[in-house]
Structure 1
């Protein structure tokens, strides 16, 4: 029998991000995945600003950015676009890169931090009680395994085995069937980096991978193919022609898939000692490219909280549901609105709505709202009564006397950013100094602000003890 602190089922981006987050705190974690290796084919392709900010705090952003194409503009139908360069972030763009690069980066991160990643292992059973969790599995050679842990996490996708073993319903509905996904070579590519357009009864989306290769997502209202039906080059060419008015010189397809677009979300992300993250907890349309990003951000939120629970603060886990379930619901709503705008009937109503949206996004305040929503930098969490307005927001625009907040957050745990000119601070967490006139802030490991104010009031110690389970006396030490 194998025993660890946390078992993660699923070695995709959310699972490996989570494993790395737990392992970096010194706790033992294993990742079990039924696949023998990282899949070279995947649906996700966009890494948004908030995800890049998180990855930057773990030293992962620069290498990942080098694998892809940066785009500052998102074209919406003909004649409308949103300007991502207006985002107030070090990453005012979308990074377009095949998910395989994200998968590899995060699996390397998990292993480097000390997590075990066991591939070719299929989970067959799960039990839990007050003492912990027991997971049964079988390896690819038929060997049966049993793992025990204090907590387990299902990060095993839309068709989650863990969710099924928990008996968790996955309420929602199918939105579209037979969507086409492919990597295509375009000899006359569009000048816009990311392009979306709608035809009379279809739509198409293009995102550049580089060297003439594009990710293509397309849909035909008239098509009713099974998800396992092959995708022909002529089918993709025809969809591009109808939706875009040109096939952009489509000459080759190196990979394709079909899939159904669902909108679903579990009611409870946590069932006792078992928690769900990513697509195991929520599924939605690919519009906006938010799926992988939401899963990685789920993991960043959950990882340090699981570590806190292992260290004696189990109630902190309740805040994972409180903070991330509303985010999942928001993603379902925004991606659903986008896909419905593109596919609604009758055609004249669809065109009128598209013209209305196109007119609105030309206004900066609307465009900024759209980009903040889809990029994730607009996400904030609820704060308590009497808390500073910064509490629950992501840390941003903070200049330090030495280094950056992203660099400082590479150290596991909380970070205290002391206001400029304040007296020397003694604390049980790393302390850095502001170079601007902002307040002192206590930053969570996921980059959100847990407290803000005058650090000499000692209120930050109460906030730290509330999140970590340490006593105020412990927080005063150091």
Structure 2
């Protein structure tokens, strides 16, 4: 429950309290702490290292964001690179066409992603508190107070200037705010397993379905394979027992063979919802990741969308808390990310429905879509760009330069790669060679290595905030940088 009590006398104990230590919360907390802010991260689960995970796909845009934090190369060394997506047995999407330093999909367990993000957060002095559950919160004009309970049921309060809920689909933060989570279950009784295989699949990642069943098989690159499957004729509750024989049966029904799977280290059953919170912000409290939106696993966009939520919010919180931007900047988090969450719900929902196609009409529609994506290059390029995150952009104001709101690629500048410069967590003003306007201390100056005359202001999350073909003086740029 959220109310508006009178301001208390308790001091603010931290700048930002992050609830939930999944990939979204870890990246957010690490960014804020790296910016010099005090950050406390609470997690209901005890601290432990697990080899069990649902997410396994890291898309190109997420790799770019990790590269801008010096983490991509380490993570890539732990995973398997997929350069083509095989869908429905006939459709191959060439990821090599992506205009990115990472023109592929990286298959690696979620715990590897969490590992690199947690080490970064710890090195930046994030205060981790595992075994700590949020049970309530209230906020006033200046701060948020969270009521938490530790593993021994000891109640305590934590006070922060802002709070971010990154605590998943059953978000205690969202419930404490009283926000609804409207939507429906799009698919039930999905089975997941990590197994060994006697026979290697034809491709490192493939999706096969025949109307009665579908299966996804992905290689982790270390001898383990992730298998995800669904059988139309076995729709049971999540609590129903599941064993390797059921996984084998589903795989044979969809693929024609179970590839000799054996030695499962993890088997689970779950259902997938399509839900989105109507608002990502209530006063000084924000939602990100699965706490704000959840959708089908098709396309592997869940963890990626959450990480990109965090990258969008972190620099804005840091700019406001460090006095570099007005508090109104925080309004843009919801206006930019809520439409992205809705778009991911639509695209992942379309993919899962194509995989589940059963009636003659549905199968005909899938054939049309497959043919379109196979033969019309602009259509397949747009699909690849959206699923990978490369094609995501944000609205620009009327009369803005056509680059405004677009993702900035990893530009090769006179001072080095853009992603390397972004590791400072600051905005970057790119100007033609020989021009270095006087800038605020928190803005980095960079120059084109060639003869290009466009000036760009790149946000810390790698999106272009402003662009111009004109020559500008320091006086011209002052109002822009002040905003």
CA distance in structure 1 between the partners assigned to 2:258 and 2:381 by the alignment? 31
Residues 1:27 and 2:44 are matched in the alignment: no
Preserved CA contact (<8 Å) 1:201 1:343: yes
| Counterpart mapping for 1:239-388 below 5 A | 239-312=250-323, 313-346=326-359, 348-363=360-375, 364-388=377-401
Q: Which residue of 2 aligns with 1:431?
A: 445
Corresponding residue for residue 230 of structure 1 = 241
Change (3 A) 1:179 1:261: same
1:415 corresponding residue in structure 2 = 428
- Of 99, 104, 116, which residue of structure 2 is paired with 1:93? 104
Native 8 Å contact 2:55 2:300 kept in 1: yes
Q: Which residue of 2 aligns with 1:469?
A: none
Query: Structure 1 stretch 60-69 or stretch 427-436: which is displaced more?
Result: 427-436
Match for 1:9 among 15, 19, 22? Answer: 19
In the TM superposition, what are the counterparts of 1:195-214 in structure 2 within 5 Å? 195-214=206-225
Report the secondary structure of 1:287's partner residue: coil
After superposition, where does 1:37-52 map in structure 2 within 5 Å? 37=47, 38-52=49-63
Task: Measure, in 2, the Cα distance between the counterparts of 1:382 and 1:460.
Answer: 21
Distance 1:232 1:213 in 2: 17
Structure 2 matches for 1:88-167, cutoff 5 A?
88-167=99-178
Q: Aligned-pair RMSD on alpha carbons?
A: 1.4
Distance 2:436 2:189 in 1: 62
Distance in 2, matches of 1:397 and 1:225, equals 47
Deviations 1:417-471 (A, max 9, x none): 1123x433321221111113251111111000111124524444323221xxxxx
Separation in 1, partners of 2:410, 2:141 = 44
Native 8 Å contact 1:7 1:29 kept in 2: yes
Determine the C-alpha separation between the residues in 2 that align with 1:173 and 1:465.
Answer: 44
Cα distance in 1 for partners of 2:288, 2:435 equals: 42
Number of the residue aligned with 1:70: 81
Judge conservation of contact 2:131–2:150 (CA < 8 Å) in 1.
yes
- TM score, norm. by length of structure 2: 0.93
Aligned to 2:481: 464
8 A Cα contact 1:179 1:258, kept in partner: yes
The 1-side partners of 2:51 and 2:221 are apart by 17
The answer to which of 354-363 and 234-243 deviates more is 354-363
Which of 402, 426, 450 is the aligned partner of 1:389? 402
Q: Is the 8 A contact 1:418 1:455 kept in 2?
A: no
Structure 1 residue matching 2:423: 3-state secondary structure? coil
1:113 positional shift: 1.8
When structure 1 is superposed on structure 2, of 45-54 and 233-242 the one drifting more is 233-242
Range moving further from structure 2, 176-185 or 451-460: 451-460
- Residue aligning to 1:474: none
Structure 2 stretches of 5 or more lacking a match? 1-9
- In structure 1, C-alpha distance between the alignment counterparts of 2:92 and 2:24, rounded to whole Å: 30
| Matched position secondary structure for 1:44 | coil
> How far apart in 2 are the matches of 1:397 and 1:123?
39
1:230, distance to aligned residue in structure 2 (A) = 2.8
The alignment's TM-score, normalised by the length of structure 1, stands at 0.94
Query: Where does structure 1 lack aligned partners over 5 or more consecutive residues?
Result: 467-478
1:18 paired residue number: 28
